[in-house]
Amino acid sequence: MIGLKEQTVRGAKTFAELRAMHRWNIPADYNVAIDCLDRHVELRDKVALLCEDDEGHTARYTFAR
């Protein structure tokens, strides 16, 4: 399966040129969770998101499912 990382534009010298050359190539079976979450499976016990509210209460979310 192709990921977003493999869809880079090479050879552009300006941002405008890059925008003109770029074309999305998203396969029908593309799953965004693979690029965003599954690639971090070896980090499952590491903190992925730390939230703190106005009262100072914190919540930690790991990469684990």
The per-residue pLDDT for range 4-30, each reduced to its tens digit, is: 556 677 788 888 988 888 888 788 998
Query: Tokens standing for 51?
Result: 């939230």
Q: What is the pLDDT of residue 30?
A: 87
Share of the chain above pLDDT 90, in %: 20
34 contacts 1 by C-beta, under 8 angstroms:
yes
Total-model pTM: 0.39
* Helix (H/G/I), strand (E/B), else coil: 48: strand
Predicted local distance difference test score (pLDDT) of residue 65 = 58
